[in-house]
Structure 1
Amino acid sequence: MKKVVPVIILLSFMLVFTVTSPVSAAESSTQMTAIPETDVIDTVIDTIGKNIQFDAANEEFIVEDVAKISNDISDEDLQKINELAKQQNVNVVYTKESLVEKFTEGIDELNESISNNELTVLTNGELIEKNDENFYVQGGSTKAVNHWWGTDYYKSTANANKWAYEANQLAIGHVVAGGAIGFFSGGLGFVVGGVASSWYFMFANSLNYYNGLSKRGIVASITKAFVYNVKTQ
C-alpha cells in the first residue's frame, strides 16, 4: 500500500495540470469538444445580407427595412448566436434588434471610406484597402479582407502562431505591440475595446487548434457582434 500513495499523488497532479493548462496545437486532437459550433454565423450573415444591397452606381451599401431584418432572424438562430457568444466569452445577450444593429453599425463610415477612395469594393462585395498588394497572394497568405459584417483575417502558419501568442498576452493583461489596435490591424476597427480579456484566451485557443490541422495557415472571420469563426486556409 505504501507504494500506491506516490502514484496516486502523481496521477492527481497530472490530472490538475491537464485540466488547467492552456490548449496548444499539439493537444488540439484531444480538445476538439472545446471548439464551439459556428455555422450559425453564416446563417445570420446570409439572413441579414439579403436586406443589404450595394448600389454600384453610387458605390455605397444600403440597409433596407431594419424591422424586416429583425423579423427574418429565427428564434432558433438567435438562441444559437447567444449560446456561441457565451462560449466565446462575449459578454452580451443579444435581442434580434440589437443583433441587427450590431451587424449593420458603421455602414455610413464604410460608405465614406469607399467615397474617399480608401477601400475598393470587389464584384463579390469584399472590401480591400486601395493599395493592398497582398490580397492576391494565394495559400498561407497574411491579409485582411473587410465585409459589411466584419473582417476575414488570413494568417500564414507562422503569423497565426504569433497572433495566438499575442491574444494570450492580451488575455493575461500584458502589452503587445500596438495594443488591441495593432492586434486587429487591417480590419474595420469595430472590435477594438469591445471585448473582455477572456475573449482573447478563447480566440487563441481556436487559432492554435485550427493552425495545428494543416501547414496552410488559418482564416479568422470576426463579426461586428464579436462572435467569430476560424478555419484552415
Structure 2
Amino acid sequence: MAPPDSIARDEWQVRCDLAALYRLAALHGWDDLIFTHISARVPGPEHHFLINPYGMMFEEITASSLVKVDQAGAKVGPSEFDVNPAGFIIHSAVHEARDEAHFVMHLHTVAGVAVSARREGLLPISQHSLFPLASLSYHDYEGVALNPDEKARLVSDLGKTSLMMLRNHGLLTLGHSAADTFLKMFMLQRACEIQIAAQAGGGELIRIPSQILAGIRAQSDKVMRGSGAELAWPGLLRRLARQNPGHDA
C-alpha cells in the first residue's frame, strides 16, 4: 500500500515492518493482551519512535495506527490512542543507548518469563539455545518499569548484547531490522520452550560442551542477522498475507 501524503516513504516502510512484527507476535501466540511492546526508530534526526497504540490488540495493529512519540514518550502529532509509560521506559533506554537498535521487541511469553525466573537462566541444552547464548544478558526485576532511574541500570546490564532476559518479567531483543529482531526473539523463545519441556520431563539434562558454544559465537551473526533473518522475513510476510492481511494499511 502506498504511504499517506502526510508520511514520508522511509517512515512508512518502518511502520509497515513494525506493524508486521506486532501481528507476527500475535500469530505465534506471544502477545499478552495489550501489555507488551515493540518499538522502532523513525528515520531522521528528530529522535522520534513508533510504538503500539495502547488499547489495541497486536493482531489489530496497522502501519497507520502506530503512535509516534519523542524520547520522553510524549505523542508527536495527533492520535486517539495513548502510550503505555511503563512500556516506553524500557524501549527508550535501549534506543538511546544503542544506535543499531532500530527495532526493540519486548514480550511476556509464558516460557520466557518462566526461564527468566530460574536462577540459572537459559541453559545450553539445545541447538536453539546456543545462538541466544552468544549475545545474552540479564537484568534484575525492579517492579513495574515506571522509574526513569532504572534506565541506566538496564543499559549497563544490556552492555553490547542484543538479547536480554528481564528477570521475573520477560524477554527483549534488539536489531537493525525487523527481520533481525524477530529472528532473535524466535530463537530465544524457542530455546525457552525447549528448556521448560526438558526440565518438566525430570532427570539430568545434557549440557552442550563449552567449546561448541564458543564456536557458535563466531557463526551467530550470520545466522541471527544477515542471511538467516533476511531469508526468513519474506516468508513470514507471506504467512501474514494469508492468515492476517492488512498490517500495511
Normalised by the shorter chain, which TM-score bucket?
A: under 0.3
**The structure with more radius of gyration:** 1
- Per the normalisation by structure 2, the TM-score is 0.24
